Each structure stands twice: as structure tokens, then as C-alpha cells.
Amino acid sequence: METSLNEIIDYYAKSSFSFANIFVTNLEPGKKDSGRRTAPGMCGLIIPLQGGAIFKLNNESYDMKLGTIVHAGPQMNIKVEATEKESWRYAVLHYEVPAKEQDRFPLYHQHFSLKVDNQARINRYVDQLLKAYSIPGSLSAITAKTLFLQIVEELVLGAKRYTKSDKDKIIEQAVDYIHNHYTEKISVTEIAEHFNLDRRRFSEIFERHTGLNPSNYMIELKIKEAKEMLRLSKLSIATIAFQLGYDDPFYFSRIFKKYAGVSPSTFRRNMQF
């Protein structure tokens, strides 16, 4: 089953993953590498640095060249065949997810690929990570963690740009529109009509692009703004509700508690020092 980019983004956004190690492997043209398995207890990002190869994980093939990144789960069978005239060179970046989280995130156990448009930038970060990882000490370890996070960010940004369509460009405009109007009494239907789309189609492509349906996206924007207003101002909860487009302060409080986990008054109290 194909893995969607939003699933991948959610996985890295919500799991407590942490960098473990990095190594680089070379395979001469026409050579094969088999009979091995991926590391136990760790996942790996396989990043091409030079050449190309057919990379098999549990007998599923990936045609790997610059621009294709592959994710491997733990304990998977590996078969590799270099297919280009130059050597196949690639980096493996291992990372860990806490045992208590592994079953919550199915992608931890899966292999999948990403097409990206920023391979050169990713590889520069990989070079920096290799250097940081080779240097002993806590400061280098912090640098390595930071670089790994930057690589993950570049992967998803590069994949998002690679898959961008005309509809995605419309949704980017819609996101800007929502950010400028979310405190007004505006419906999803009105936003869809503004961009000459029917509500259902608009909601489908909006959720594919952002990972949230338009209604929840606007609510989360309002909750974030409400948190800032509760933290930084002395405005009453009713006034905050009205400024965010809610006619009923009690309804606003219910929505706030649903998304924030606590009532507005409790949130404000907890933010006071």
C-alpha cells in the first residue's frame, strides 16, 4: 500500500524519534550485496550520494538514484545491485523511536520512498552530519541531532515541492486567505467559492495538502491565537471569544477545552508565574 506524504509528515511530527548513527557504503558497478538485514530496533533513511542501484527491502524493489530517498524499518531483508557505470554510494541514517511508541506509528515498521527536488541540499547536510558524528564529545552530539532534524525537514519539504500540482498552489493561496480572515465569520463553503471550487472538492484537496480539513484548520488557528491572547492580555474570555468570531463564549470555552485539554480560565491560570 502506497504511503501518503501527509502520513509521513504526521509520523515525524508526532513520534519521539532520535538520531542514532550514520554510515556510508560503496558498491562497485555491477556488484551485488545481499544476505543482510537492516538493524534491529532502529529505522534507517537511505540517501543516495552517487550512482544508482536497485535496492530491495523484503523483496520490494526501489530504483534508487539522486532524488529518491528510501525509508527502511527494523530487521528487513536487504538486496542491492549497483546499476550505473559509476560506483553506487549511499548514506544510511539510523534513528530510534521509543519502544512504547513503536506500535502507535505503523510507518516505524514499514519501508517507503520519497521523491525530492532538493537532493544537493540534503547531501550537504549529510556531509555535515558525517563530520559531526565523527567528532567525540557532547557538543558534536548536539550538532548531529540538529543536523538530523534538518535533514528530515528537508526531506518532507523537498517531497512536498516535488509532488506539487496546480490544485496544491490553489490551496496555498487558500491557506493565506484563511490566515487573513480566520477571525471573521467565514464558512468553508464561502472559502471554496472564493477559489471557484465546490465545498467537497475543496475540503478533499485542502486536507491532502495540510493534513487537516478546513474547519479544523481554522479552529486550530483560533485556538493558537486564543492561547496567546490568554497568556499576554487581560481581556475577558468573552471578549477573546468575540474577537475570534465566536458569538457564544460558552461554546468557545467548550471548543477551547476540546483542543487545548483545559478550559480557557485554567490555561490562563497555568500560564501565570
Q: Above 90 in pLDDT, residue 13?
A: yes
Report pLDDT digits (tens) over 18-33. 999 999 999 998 899 9
Q: Above 70 in pLDDT, residue 214?
A: yes
Q: Above 70 in pLDDT, residue 273?
A: no
What is the layout of strands, in order, in the sheet containing 68-72? Answer: 18-27, 88-96, 43-50, 68-72, 112-115
Report pLDDT digits (tens) over 243-270. 999 999 999 999 999 999 999 999 998 8
Asked if the domains 5-162 and 166-271 are classified in one and the same CATH topology, the answer is: no
Nearest to 156 by CA among 186, 119, 116, 127: 116
In the predicted model, what is the mean pLDDT of residues 64-70?
A: 93
Q: Above 70 in pLDDT, residue 185?
A: yes
Nearest to 193 by CA among 182, 177, 180, 179: 177
- Mean pLDDT, all residues of the chain: 91
Backbone torsions φ then ψ of 189, nearest 5 degrees: -60, -45
Give the domain 166-271 fold: Arc Repressor Mutant, subunit A (1.10.10)
Cβ–Cβ under 8 Å, residues 177 and 186 = no
Q: Above 90 in pLDDT, residue 138?
A: yes
Q: What is the pTM of this model?
A: 0.67
Q: Which three cell numbers stand for residue 84?
A: 550505473
H or E stretch including 112? strand 112-115
Weakest-pLDDT range from 1-5, 58-62, 202-206: 1-5
Q: Above 70 in pLDDT, residue 184?
A: yes
Q: Above 90 in pLDDT, residue 143?
A: yes
Q: Above 60 in pLDDT, residue 1?
A: no
Answer positive or negative: Cα dihedral of 73, 78, 82, 86. positive
Domain borders along the chain are: 5-162, 166-271
Q: Above 90 in pLDDT, residue 221?
A: yes
Report pLDDT digits (tens) over 223-249. 999 999 998 899 999 999 999 999 999
At residue 2 the predicted structure's pLDDT band, cuts being 50, 70 and 90, is: low
Give the domain 5-162 fold: Jelly Rolls (2.60.120)
Given this model, what pLDDT does residue 166 score?
64
Tally of residues, the chain: 273
d(CA 177, CA 174): 5
